[in-house]
Chains A and B, each alone.
Chain A
Amino acid sequence: MELNGAEIVIRSLKDEGVEYIFGYPGGAVLHIYDALFQQKHVKHILVRHEQGATHSADGYARATGKPGVVLVTSGPGATNAITGIATAYLDSIPLVIISGQVPSPVIGSDAFQEVDTVGITRPCVKHNFLVKDVSKIAETIKKAFHVATTGRPGPVVVDIPKDITDPKIKVAYKYPRKVSMRSYNPAEKGHKGQIKKAIEMILGARKPMIYSGGGVVLGNAAKQLTEFTRLLNYPITNTLMGLGAYPATDEQFVGMLGMHGTYEANMAMHGCDVLIAIGARFDDRVTGILSDFCPDAKIVHIDVDPASISKNVFVDIPIVGEVKPVLTDMIDLISKGSKRPDKKALESWWELINSWRSVNCLEYERSNKVIKPQFVIEQLYEITGGDAFVTSDVGQHQMWAAQYYKFTQPRRWINSGGLGTMGFGLPAAIGVKIGHPDADVVCVTGEASIQMCLQELSTALQYNTPVKIINLNNRYMGMVRQWQEFSYDKRYSHSYVDALPDFVKLAESYGHVGMLIDKPEDVRGALEQALEMKDRTVFLDFITDQTENVYPMIEAGKAHNDMRLAPGTIGNRELA
């Protein structure tokens, strides 16, 4: 079969099994858009800004486990996509971004809408390609999907000059079923000897701790993680990216760890003697100050990316491999072996952990006068039964969502953990809804974040992706304000947002439903009402307590056992 370059691009996507692409047309991709127009298999979601395209594809990928696909034009199309590409890169999300480029003969001449896309994306992609020959398009796209989805996943850019998609030049088309690259062979199974050594150490622990991250979600290993954890009866904490991989409602779950983790999770990290890190990367928001990180612990680390091992924290037993097969092997070996954890030691460890738990660090001052942001999330959790897909933006609302919504399944919690990209939540929610049209999809945001990709409200109408936007509106960039309160003597430099739009009218002008909620007693009713409107996007503007802070908090440069707890909570009084 002979096809032109543009047709090959679209046909390759179809043969790869791609259902949706998120994009925005422009000069350099017009041939591709023309080919897109003449077929029905690959559906295109027209966003309002290329950042929205990458975040939507990213949300789709996180929620479905399939790679997200983006199509943008050269120059500003590509540069607008960069924030979304970097977001996906830091969270290891599989994306394939196809960008148009100016025609090959004028590359390097500062042509109209020319930017060195391969050069500018290099530091924030897993890999990128510049296609120089029509006959190489199909193979390159296959390689892009292969690299994006295997090993530690990540975004891959395929930059295609306009002349390569010229409708007049046709070549034989064949989409490769498989591709092999001699320079790219990610590990799958873990080394048996290392696994045995690790099990020895794990079973010998007296104060063990399981610390698992986004790798478990990405590696579809939640089931194995749960089985492994229950088999051992060890305490488990999840990172921000790992939430949902272990059910938050389970007794063995001690909450999220890190800067805004629970008292019990952070204290258990500090006190443990064996740390079992699974698909987590020892991020600085997780570890606190490195010199005082898990001071008494031997560390086992399972990760598919060898470069993540001993990068920030020295690891005693590294296991390079995908989390799922490694955990499966571990469960198998432990079950078949005769050695069991020291029951007595474990009992007293649990006793200690439960005493930390009784501090009740997530308790907050209730109010019947002003809406507490935590209360909104608690109500949302109760009403949805923990079953909604929750996306978030970045800041206080993100932490409250992570703390108060008890995720019991993987891929339900969708946030920009690594890059911390404000503006992520709404387009990500649209992507999630496209992947799961019948599910409840909620975007927890704030009045600052939501305005960073607000234009996607228009996309939500065009493609009928009814998401619920929970705007925790405190009229401040809350997390910035909190740091300024704690560390800058309450000098609130430019963290107050004056001149906010009327979000209700704004939502209405985009064709959606807007609701303003400013009384605590109206919170539950409003959420119920919004969730009942299955076919409408609803913008719920909650006017919340202006100066509420996120607790607990490990301030920069401090250790896990040095947390600032909420003033007035039971825990704080007892500790004092």
Chain B
Amino acid sequence: MRHIISVLMENEAGALSRVSGLFSARGYNIESLTVAATEDPTLSRMTLVTRGSDRIIEQITKQLNKLVDVVKLIDLAESEHIERELMMIKVRAAGDARDEAKRLADIFRGRIIDATPESFVIEVTGESSKLDALIHVFDESSIIEVVRSGPTGILRGQKGLHV
């Protein structure tokens, strides 16, 4: 099953490599990993998406917790949560394709944030599956470049992950 794990870590050099090193050393899957500082500059928040049986996910959370720099973590998949990913997709937009690209961007509530006579860059945010869907509606040959942030997530309601 797919899990999305949010980790609060001390914002120290090498924090990211402790996590990525753990995943490679123990042979865990890692689908995506994003990290940035929080409102508290001494803390980084990392979101990672992984897959595995319940036993493997239990081990992953235990091993992450065991890292001395990890302050707290939560498996968002266990609770009601919101998940978002940002994608920028650069597509060919010349001639007939220009209107079509604009229409597709609108359908997906995307915004065109850069344009040349030949191309658009569309920014779109949503769950990963929505971004997948947008990629699929474009003809493969019309896509110049895709860049995705990887999913991040937050709990619904009043509760939050903090120190």
Which residues does A use to contact B, with CB under 8 Å?
A: 118-119, 122-123, 126-127, 130, 147, 181-184, 305-307, 309-311, 314
Q: Does B66 contact A (CB under 8 A)?
A: yes
Interface string of B1-17 (1 = CB under 8 A from A): 00000000110011001
Tell me the interface secondary structure of chain B in the complex: helix
Partner of B59, one of A181, A182, A183, A307: A307
Distance (whole angstroms) from the CB of A182 to the closest CB of chain B: 6
Q: Does B70 contact A (CB under 8 A)?
A: yes
Known: A118-B14, A147-B68, A181-B68; 17 extra A-B contacts, CB below 8 A, are: A119-B14, A119-B17, A122-B18, A122-B21, A123-B25, A127-B69, A130-B13, A182-B163, A183-B9, A183-B69, A306-B65, A307-B59, A307-B63, A307-B65, A310-B59, A311-B62, A314-B55
- How distant is the Cα of A323 from the Cα of B18 in the complex, in angstroms? 28
Cβ-defined contact, B21 with A184, below 8 A: no
Cβ-defined contact, B66 with A182, below 8 A: no
The verdict on A311 contacting B68 (CB below 8 Å), with A122-B18, A122-B21 known, is no
The 8 closest A-B pairs by CB, nearest first: A307-B62, A127-B68, A183-B71, A307-B66, A184-B68, A123-B25, A306-B62, A307-B63
A118 / chain B contacts, CB cutoff of 8 Å: 14
Partner of A310, one of B10, B55, B66, B69: B55
A311 / chain B contacts, CB cutoff of 8 Å: 59, 62
Cβ-defined contact, B68 with A122, below 8 A: no
Distance (whole angstroms) from the CB of B61 to the closest CB of chain A: 9
Cβ-defined contact, B14 with A183, below 8 A: no
List, sorted by A's number, 16 A–B pairs whose CB atoms are closer than 8 Å.
A119-B14, A122-B17, A122-B18, A122-B21, A127-B68, A127-B69, A130-B13, A130-B14, A182-B163, A183-B10, A183-B69, A183-B70, A310-B55, A310-B58, A311-B59, A311-B62
Chain B residue nearest in CB terms to A308 = B62
Give how many A-B residue pairs fall within 8 Å (CB-CB). 41
A182 / chain B contacts, CB cutoff of 8 Å: 71, 163
- How distant is the Cα of A122 from the Cα of B13 in the complex, in angstroms? 13
Instruction: Give residues of chain B (97-136) contacting chain A, Cβ–Cβ below 8 Å.
Output: none
Chain B residue nearest in CB terms to A123 = B25
Partner of B21, one of A123, A130, A147, A183: A123
Distance (whole angstroms) from the CB of B5 to the closest CB of chain A: 15
